[in-house]
Structure 1
Amino acid sequence: MTPPQNNTAPEVLRQHAEQAYAHELAALAQHDRFPRPPKWNLSPRAVLTYLMGGRAGDTEITPKYVGEARLMEIAVATLATDRALLLLGVPGTAKSWVSEHLAAAISGDSTLLVQGTAGTDENAIRYGWNYARLLAEGPSEAALVESPVMHAMRQGKIARLEELTRVQSDVQDTLITILSEKTLPVPELNTEVQAVRGFNLIATANNRDKGVNDLSSALKRRFNTVVLPVPDSLEDELSIVTRRVESLGRSLGLPDLPPALDEIRRVVTVFRELRAGVTEDGKTKLKTPSGSLSVAEAISVVTNGLTLAAHFGDGELSSHDVAASLIGAVVKDPVQDQAVWNEYLETAVKKRAGWKEFYTACREVS
């Protein structure tokens, strides 16, 4: 017998922002009465509404970023100037998420992406060659392979560069001419590509990587930096985790489960307390583990717990489902982090009202 299928999930595992939120972007464009910079699909005000949430006619715009609106105003305004935007923050502060949604709202295309790594070379940022055609015909436009940045320059769109500080310093500096002169020379063809209006670049960097490949002072001057902080309050972080878990559940085709806000609140509380080194009430100091304990990891823990509950449990997220994934997120170092975790359970969790089942479940898998 063929088991019933969940037909509400999209075919692709993860849609691009401009696909997943196409109805919101269309509604904002329809009701947008403010001036738009050249090649922008929406005005800066409409882009801000898309990020922070609101309404466009009868359509509710869901918030993509939970935090200080002024930070998003600065980010959007930067992209309307000739300065590039650098989103800086610790892991899990939604840098990539914000970058994707900015590109989707402004250009309608978030796919012009360069993923920065230690192995990223100049070709990934500038251009490459189809070597079969290059050998057969020599250098020509037909043999040229555009990078996402070059394509964005030609089309007047937003390009994205993830983890800029992971890229080697000499490769980073490839951006200087692009960002200052808005030109990409192609000496092999004795020509250049000049950026058309609407082009800009969003880069992200993890400030825990400081010192890995620091940006040169010349490159820093080409960016306006916006530092994204961790969520200010437990309620803000809870809202972020809940929304993203619901979205991931739909994309993964998980059965609809009743909301388990108590369990999600516990996960978020654990992450915030261990990250800060003190309990939420400020009464007990705690040792911090070696991991970052980011919001993204909290989302992963809850999603894994929901998957366990859906496929191997009674369909309701329980402390036992959460605990199984939580340990792996906290205990990265089996010696140091395990000691930190055990101490946290005994000093902060054991006597906390309403947390007995959670404490027992964590002890069973520790």
Structure 2
Amino acid sequence: MTTTTPAEPSSDLLRPHAEQAFAHELAALAAADDRPRPPGWQLSPAAVVSYLLGGTLPDGTVVTPKYVGPRRLVEVAVATLATDRALLLLGVPGTAKTWVSEHLAAAISGTSALVVQGTSGTGDDALRYGWNYARLLTEGPTPAALVESPVMSAMRTARIARIEELTRIPSDVQDALISILSEKSLPVPELATEVQAAKGFNVIATANDRDRGVNDLSSALRRRFNTVVLPLPATEDEEVEIVARRVAQLGSSLELPTAPAAAEEIRRVVTVFRELRSGRTSDGRTQLKSPSGTLSTAEAISVLTGGLALAAHFGDGVLRSADVAAGILGAVVKDPVADKAVWTEYLEAVVRERSGWADFYRACREVSG
């Protein structure tokens, strides 16, 4: 499949929101969209799916794929948001949960900025509301002293609220969502009032249950979500396509020179990650030990973007094995003892014997010490 480079955003932002970076695609989809739109939606569900999966519009506008994966998963996610059920995107780290969440919100609401980043320190006010304490002390509880959470703002303005890493939020704070998702209202007892959700409001949450420091969702909260599990890329070619596209986008955003002949190193990094992740070589002949890390697609993108920076600023602009070797070592060896042994065994048993990988083997041995 031929990849296309998205249009440059019209600003100098380091990391534009999806609705900024792909504004031209969203506008073209809206202009061509003749299907019914749910209340509050900027596009019809079918057009949202087209925005996520890509295609060519009747006017010739190329819509770049934002997600490479099963179409049915995207359709189920979009259909869920057209109902009164919230959407939970579940998957291991690096399966594009945040990426999909952002683009869904951008396509449906026109903004992806109503987001709560879940951490162990996230408090109740991040999901409900807080107070401007200077005004609270001088005026008491007044509407002017109220500080809306992204969720409250989304309820009031008929938009999508995003909650990233929901399982990292303490369980008692998570449960503040139960009444919001059930009753579609948020009481403010201090003001003897409530905010009722306008049509178009919904919530997209992301979570993974394989990472450390997670808090399981209560059964009551899980029932308020329709869960869509995002899988790892099914094939090597699919993962190479995803990585190549994202590396090109990030390189363009960071204004790194375009690296010629980068495809070989991209495929090599993806091959290493997939083999160590699955515990066997791509031909199925050799069983391997897997390291402790997830070796996600997102990490492969990071390794290659770092390699492009090295090639651009400290090399001749051509991405080579030496530019990605240190990044791969850092991604694989999280445990300095156990993972180091896994990596060394993989280098000696697989990489050293593989035709055309001699330069990669030498570069990896050099940085491995």
Q: Does 1:218 align with 2:187?
A: no
| CA shift for structure 1 position 210 | 8.0
Q: Does 1:252 align with 2:254?
A: yes
Q: Does 1:39 align with 2:40?
A: yes
- Match of residue 338 from structure 1: 340
Give the paired residue count.
360
Segments of 4+ moved more than 2 angstroms: 7-10, 209-212
- Match of residue 142 from structure 2: 140
- Match of residue 188 from structure 2: 186
2 CA distance for matches of 1:179 and 1:217? 14
Instruction: Please tell me whether the aligned partners of residues 9 and 20 of structure 2 are also in contact (alpha carbons under 8 angstroms).
Output: no
2:227 counterpart letter in structure 1: T
2:36 counterpart letter in structure 1: P
2 CA distance for matches of 1:211 and 1:260? 37
1:128 to 117, 127, 130: 130
1:297 to 296, 299, 307: 299
- Match of residue 161 from structure 1: 163
TM-score by length of 2: 0.96
Alignment of 1:1-16 (within 5 A): 10-16=11-17
1:273 counterpart letter in structure 2: E
| CA shift for structure 1 position 257 | 2.1
Backbone CA RMSD of aligned residues:
1.3
1 CA distance for matches of 2:244 and 2:360? 19
2 CA distance for matches of 1:223 and 1:259? 44
Any idea what SS the aligned residue of 2:98 has?
A: helix
Instruction: Please tell me whether the aligned partners of residues 10 and 251 of structure 1 are also in contact (alpha carbons under 8 angstroms).
Output: no
| CA shift for structure 1 position 349 | 1.0
2 CA distance for matches of 1:259 and 1:51? 28
1:183 counterpart letter in structure 2: S
Residues 197-243 of structure 1, C-alpha deviations (whole Å, 9 max, x = no match): 00000000012148831111110110000000000000010001000
- Match of residue 358 from structure 1: 360
Residues 4-56 of structure 1, C-alpha deviations (whole Å, 9 max, x = no match): xxx99941110000000000000000000110000100000000000001122
Q: Does 1:64 align with 2:66?
A: yes
Any idea what SS the aligned residue of 1:23 has?
A: helix
- Match of residue 273 from structure 2: 271
1 CA distance for matches of 2:332 and 2:11? 32
Distance 1:301 1:76, change over 3 A: same
Structure 1, gaps ≥5 residues long: 1-6
- Match of residue 235 from structure 1: 237
Percentage of identical aligned residues: 71
Instruction: Please tell me whether the aligned partners of residues 9 and 16 of structure 2 are also in contact (alpha carbons under 8 angstroms).
Output: no
- Match of residue 85 from structure 1: 87
1 CA distance for matches of 2:357 and 2:214? 41
- Match of residue 54 from structure 1: 55
- Match of residue 3 from structure 1: none
Residues 305-354 of structure 1, C-alpha deviations (whole Å, 9 max, x = no match): 11000010111000111112111111111111110000001111111111
2 CA distance for matches of 1:338 and 1:21? 41
Instruction: Please tell me whether the aligned partners of residues 176 and 219 of structure 1 are also in contact (alpha carbons under 8 angstroms).
Output: yes
TM-score by length of 1: 0.97
- Match of residue 24 from structure 2: 23
Instruction: Please tell me whether the aligned partners of residues 85 and 202 of structure 1 are also in contact (alpha carbons under 8 angstroms).
Output: yes
Any idea what SS the aligned residue of 2:90 has?
A: strand
2 CA distance for matches of 1:112 and 1:228? 22
- Match of residue 178 from structure 2: 176
1 CA distance for matches of 2:220 and 2:338? 41
